[in-house]
């Protein structure tokens, strides 16, 4: 028996990086998963891989900044699997720039993908969770939602918002038996992290070596963040809500 048998989960940004690792792990633990991602080819590959391994998955192409796309992702979960128990708000982007070098369009897009998406996905998911007596939401923020970072002002602002949205949502929806928690990863070996090196004009090997400079002396792997998600959405965390969990190798210390 898996930890998530008979449950259904939506994972935004579920086709790569932390989202892909989470989609695969939750499926391995018995959940039916809806992979919501803007990129169609990786999303279809993730769906096929999970189904080929004996899991249950469906891909939905989704721009998480658009209300209709978010509503459709939730509707797909209910139509395909009959319920919705888990929402992992993982989709995110980063623009490495300070205030002076960030355009208004870049600021807006970071806020749309990183913050507005949490609002929209939760807005449509929570009523379905209420119908069945509860659920679990995990918002993926960042260590830079807890402290500042160099040349990442829009990202830091967005992830700080996700941290406090988590607390507010936990207060509002705890009486409906919906737990809302937040994970703050440190630097994790994903395509997005490596893309930061290019944004900053740094050599990738040097950038990744700097990312490893934390008490555990390494950067994280997507599967390690996925394990924290699994814990928070499982019954092992049944009395945990409004928590903000740093999974960062000690980086925020």
CATH code of the domain made up of 8-188+223-244:
3.40.50.720
Say if residue 235's pLDDT is above 70: yes
Kindly name the residue from 124, 155, 219, 239 that is annotated as catalytic.
155
Q: What is the DSSP string of the chain?
A: --TTTT-EEEEETTTSHHHHHHHHHHHHTT-EEEEEES-HHHHHHHHHHHHHTT-EEEEEE--TTSHHHHHHHHHHHHHHHS---EEEE---------TTT--HHHHHHHHIIIIIHHHHHHHHHHHHHHHTT-EEEEEE--GGGTS--TT-HHHHHHHHHHHHHHHHHHHHHGGGTEEEEEEEE-SBSSHHHHHHHHHHT--HHHHHHHHT-STTSS-B-HHHHHHHHHHHHSGGGTT--S-EEEESTTTT-
Is pTM, for the whole model, over 0.85?
A: yes
Instruction: Give the model's confidence band at 1: pLDDT under 50 very low, under 70 low, under 90 confident, else very high.
Output: low
Instruction: Give the model's confidence band at 156: pLDDT under 50 very low, under 70 low, under 90 confident, else very high.
Output: very high
Q: Which has more pLDDT, 99 or 1?
A: 99
pLDDT, tens digit, for every residue of 159-186?
Answer: 999 999 999 999 999 999 999 999 999 9
239 counts as catalytic: no
pLDDT, tens digit, for every residue of 63-82?
Answer: 999 999 999 999 999 999 99
pLDDT, tens digit, for every residue of 96-142?
Answer: 999 999 999 999 999 999 999 999 999 999 999 999 999 999 999 99
The region of weakest confidence among 6-10, 34-38, 201-205 is 201-205
Give the domain ranges of the chain: 8-188+223-244
Q: What average pLDDT does the structure give for the chain?
A: 97
């Amino acid at each position: 028996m898996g930890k998530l048998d008979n449950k259904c989960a939506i994972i935004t940004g579920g086709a790569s990086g932390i989202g892909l690792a989470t989609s695969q792990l939750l499926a391995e633990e018995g959940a039916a998963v809806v992979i919501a991602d803007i990129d169609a080819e990786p999303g279809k590959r993730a769906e096929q891989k999970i189904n080929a391994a004996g899991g249950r998955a469906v891909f939905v192409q989704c721009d998480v900044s658009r209300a209709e796309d978010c509503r459709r992702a939730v509707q797909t979960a209910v139509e395909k699997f009959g319920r919705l128990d888990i929402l992992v708000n993982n989709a995110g982007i980063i623009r490495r720039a300070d205030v002076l070098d960030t355009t208004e369009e870049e600021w807006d897009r970071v806020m749309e993908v990183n913050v507005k998406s949490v609002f929209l996905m939760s807005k449509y998911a929570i009523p379905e969770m209420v119908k069945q007596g509860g659920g679990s939401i995990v918002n993926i923020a960042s260590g830079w939602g807890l402290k500042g970072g160099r040349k990442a002002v829009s990202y830091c602002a967005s992830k700080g918002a996700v941290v406090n949205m988590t607390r507010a949502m936990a207060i509002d929806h705890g009486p409906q038996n919906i737990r809302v928690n937040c994970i703050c990863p440190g630097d994790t070996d994903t395509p997005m992290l490596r893309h930061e090196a290019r944004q900053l004009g740094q050599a990738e090997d040097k950038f990744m070596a700097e990312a490893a400079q934390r008490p555990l002396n390494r950067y994280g792997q997507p599967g390690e963040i996925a394990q924290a998600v699994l814990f928070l959405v499982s019954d092992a965390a049944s009395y945990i809500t409004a928590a903000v969990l740093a999974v960062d190798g000690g980086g925020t210390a």
